[in-house]
Chain A
Amino acid sequence: MRRTAPDRRIFLALLLLAAAPAPAEPPGLWSGAMQGAVPATLRGATVLATAAAAKSWIAANHPALIDVAPAPIRPQVMAPTMPWLPPAHQDLPGSTWLPGAGRAVLEPARGAAFLRAVRSRAAPDRPVMVYCHPNCWASWNAARFLVSAGYTRVGWFPLGIEGWGAAGFDLQGTLASSY
């Protein structure tokens, strides 16, 4: 049975209720586990707490959309006969997928490469919206990194891909960009 939009809103509400209490902002980038409860705030950025808020912000500001969700990597030791079938990655239409950027920024060289990739899409005075999945520190880190790098109009959408889809908004298949 196909779910209706009100059902999706109920699921989203449950998702929010089920989330662990939001921790305080770490002083710098987060170097702990990339999966877990994220802060409700991000100094220097606009927190887009709902899919509707993200949609309005996108409509008003036309930001570069940066998806930093990690990409699966096939283990080299895996038996060749074992099926490896990552689902096609889906994100917000028009996004650039830079897999794993939330970790990459912890390393100076990789952080610089991420910054170049974002700059090729938006100058530091232009709006950028960063997201990944719910409870995913990667987007918090990537957004914080851009704020530190001088971006003045950073939007952070913590509910990410699942939050967008649960609100009934379209997602689109995408390929990773290297950086």
Chain B
Amino acid sequence: MRATVAAVCLAIALAAPIARAADDDSARAQRWDALAATIFPGRHVTQAAGFVGIDAPVRAMDAALVPVTLTLPTDRNLKALYLVVDENPSPIAAHVVFGPAAGGHTLTLRIRVDQYTNLHAVAETADGQLYAAARFIKAAGGCSAPGSETPEIALREAGQMKLRLHDEAGAETADLLIRHPNFNGMQMDQVSHLYTPARYINRIDISYNGQSVLHIDTDISLASDPAIGFGFKSDGTGTLTVDVADTAHATWHQDFPVAPHGT
């Protein structure tokens, strides 16, 4: 067999080679413009630093598990929120649609970061305007980092959930943890050295007493074992319901009682 090596034109070749430094800010701005045009075709995205506050470590300890806290505007006339990891191959980490029972002012998530990137939070108001805020994060390798357990164990426990409720400035907030390895197809099994096939959560629905709190479309940029912190308009009683689906069409459902405080 001849030892020739043919250059393959990958579908990822988006641009002609340009000599520039990797951390060139204008290149990041160009990348964002291209992403915004793809994700929000034909719509204007207003750059509004601080419209949504983004708190995340500038230098993440674990690129596969970067915690992000979003502070939503107090006048929360929000329809939806897009969390975009600019330099990830699949940039949309989450598309969150707020339901009538949504409340509170913070939303927390954990994401994967493949290389140094801007993180954009784009809020969509009820009248259809888009406002984008950004934050730079230094982390690399989050997409190929293997899980902490074997794929078999991780999948056996997939769909197990925990919920912790707490009261915060009048609004009820909840921390939801969903067990799932969120395999992205780029992680190698440490024993077999084969890539674990992609299988990840792609939909999370949270409702309270029959009213939607959050509908979240997620993707491989969301970290394994999704942990979501959110607020909701609570009567102090009733049921918080969580429905989760993954790309293998598995679904999980769990009800969590909401007890009056002080009992």
Contacts and interface: CB of A to CB of B under 8 A. Distances in A.
Contact of B10 (A31, A162, A176): A176
A2 B5 contact: no
Interface residues of A, number: 62
B246 to A, nearest CB: 9
A78 B219 contact: yes
A26 interface: no
A79 B219 CA distance: 9
Contacts of A3: 23, 25
Contacts, number: 160
Nearest to B86: A87
A1 B29 CA distance: 11
A32 B145 CA distance: 10
A107 B192 CA distance: 10
A26 B151 CA distance: 25
A35 B145 contact: yes
Nearest to B185: A75
B38 interface: yes
Given A33-B145, A120-B3, A103 B21 contact: no
B38 A103 contact: no
Interface in B104-157: 114-116, 138, 140-141, 143-146
B10 A103 contact: no
Contacts of B13: 88, 173, 175
Nearest to B9: A175
Interface string B1-16: 0011111111011111
Interface in B211-252: 219-220, 247-248
B59 A14 contact: yes
A75 B220 CA distance: 9
B186 interface: yes
Interface string A85-97: 1111110010010
A31 B16 contact: no
A107 B193 CA distance: 8
B18 A173 contact: yes
B63 interface: yes
Contacts of A103: 188, 193
A21 to B, nearest CB: 14
Given A86-B12, A89-B12, A162-B116, A77 B6 contact: no
Interface of B: 3-10, 12-26, 31, 34-35, 38-39, 59, 63, 87, 89-92, 114-116, 138, 140-141, 143-146, 184-186, 188, 190, 193, 195, 198-200, 202, 219-220, 247-248
